[in-house]
Amino acid sequence: MTANGPRPPHIREAVSSIEEQQILAVSKLALGDPEVIPLWYGESDVPTPAFICEAATAAMARGDTFYTHKRGLPELRDLLATYMGGLYGQPLDPERITVTISGMSAIILMLECMVDAGDNVVIINPVWPNAQAAVRLLGGEPRFVTLDLTDEGWALDMNRIQSACDDRTRAIFVNSPNNPTGWMMPGSQQREMLDFARALGIWILSDDVYARMVYDRKAAPSFLEFAEPDDPLIVINSFSKSWAMTGWRMGWIVHPPAHGDLFGNIIEYNYSCVAPFLQQAGITAIRDGEPFVAEMLQHCARARDIVNERLPRIPGIRDYAPPVASFYAFFRIDGVSDSLAFAQDLVRHAKVGIAPGTAFGPGSEEWFRLCFAQTESQITEGLNRLEGALTLRKAS
């Protein structure tokens, strides 16, 4: 008991101090409102194709509803190994594949294996907000190395990566293609980073969920094109983006073969296994989904062309570098220093939702992210509303 009543039960400080995810702080104002054009989340407006959905319902109908292999169905792991090996021109042992409940879950699982309180993870910034929050939840310190905006687009200074690392650095987190900037890490820098990580015994966590959302080639450069099986490398991927399966929450990791049993144990104590009927849908997506992946890319490419043509011409928009990959536009607006408040006002008054830069790490407070994985009419109307709001703001 305390002087004023019962003592409150304990919540870890790392949890109680965590801030609300800033994209949610915008989207909750109008999530589900049919009048709002939602360009805030990292997902397309395309529903999961019927052939994938039918695979899941057929699996449930035949009774695939029990516990199963904690690292994933062997058939799915075999398919993923073949898929990844074909994508990057290197054979991949299925023992290096573990299926997870989402890419985000994979990040948490891997950080659970690596980070003790007081350790740090070097993160290339701007970055998807959940990655840095996961480090903090485990009592670690995120250390940010910010991309530079140059005349040629976004670029990474490798010297700053190396300077940020010390004897408590456990991992370097790389998201390429990048959310929110659309930056894509060159293979030469990947080689340099892996050599550095090998020498210091630091993990590389490579978030590759946008690997297929590339507009000039089949896939983005990957560490898997040259890494040895036992290198300190975890490659994280997801079914969410390329197969329009964001709500399904299913991903996978590629890891050194010696760590498979360990990661299986961690899964056992987190969620036991991925639902087998979802994995059957994943098998169908990988086996039969290449035509749909191509359609999804074309869907995003058409909207990207509209954004590249329209967005820089809207009065007040600045610092927009056309993305070479992913499906995001990242930009500033003249005179706006608080992107969260401005994004909330856009939802209320212009009925268009974009993500505030406050979500994407230090230095991004004046920036905005717009997801253009939308139909041409949807993205056009969203830009119309944004332009109308900025025109009114300038006139007032």
Q: How many helices (H) and strands (E) does the chain have?
A: 13, 15
Terminal-residue alpha carbon distance, the chain? 56
CA distance linking residue 230 with residue 257, whole number of Å: 7
- Name the phi and psi angles at 156, rounded to 5: -110, 135
Q: 165 and 252 in one domain?
A: yes
Q: Which of 250, 272, 288 is the last residue of a domain?
A: 288
Quote the tokens at residue 291: 């035509």
Q: Please give the model's pTM, rounded to 2 decimal places.
A: 0.95
Query: Strand, helix or coil at 179?
Result: coil
Low-confidence ranges of the chain (pLDDT < 50): none
Q: 355 and 312 in one domain?
A: yes
Quote the tokens at residue 348: 């209320």
Q: What is the pLDDT of residue 348?
A: 95
Burial of 340 (0-12, 13-18, 19+ CB in 10 A): middle
DSSP class of 78: H
Quote the tokens at residue 145: 């190395």
Angle at alpha carbon of residue 92, lines to 88 and 94, rounded to 5°:
140
**Beta strand pairing status for 37-38 and 352-353?**
parallel
Q: What is the pLDDT of residue 3?
A: 66
CA distance linking residue 74 with residue 94, whole number of Å: 8
Q: What is the pLDDT of residue 6?
A: 85
Q: What is the pLDDT of residue 300?
A: 97
Q: What is the pLDDT of residue 2?
A: 60
Q: 161 and 304 in one domain?
A: no
Query: Do 130 and 104 form a contact (C-beta atoms < 8 A)?
Result: yes
Nearest of 318, 310, 358 to residue 338 by alpha carbon? 358
Quote the tokens at residue 182: 């659309």
- The DSSP result for 189-232, as a single string, is HHHHHHHHHHHHT-EEEEE-TTTT-BSSSSS---GGGT--TTSS
Q: What is the pLDDT of residue 329?
A: 98
**Beta strand pairing status for 120-125 and 169-175?**
parallel
Q: 336 and 206 in one domain?
A: no
**How far, in Å, are 52, 74, 146 from residue 283 at the CA level?**
9, 10, 37
Q: 252 and 387 in one domain?
A: no
Q: 312 and 255 in one domain?
A: no
Residue 319 belongs to a domain with what CATH number?
3.90.1150.10
Q: Which of 224, 257, 288 is the last residue of a domain?
A: 288
Radius of gyration, CA atoms only, the chain: 21
Q: What is the pLDDT of residue 4?
A: 73
Q: Which of 254, 288, 322 is the last residue of a domain?
A: 288
Q: What is the pLDDT of residue 111?
A: 97
Angle between helices 276-288 and 74-88 (to 10 degrees): 30
Q: What is the pLDDT of residue 7?
A: 84
Q: 279 and 228 in one domain?
A: yes
Quote the tokens at residue 280: 């059957």
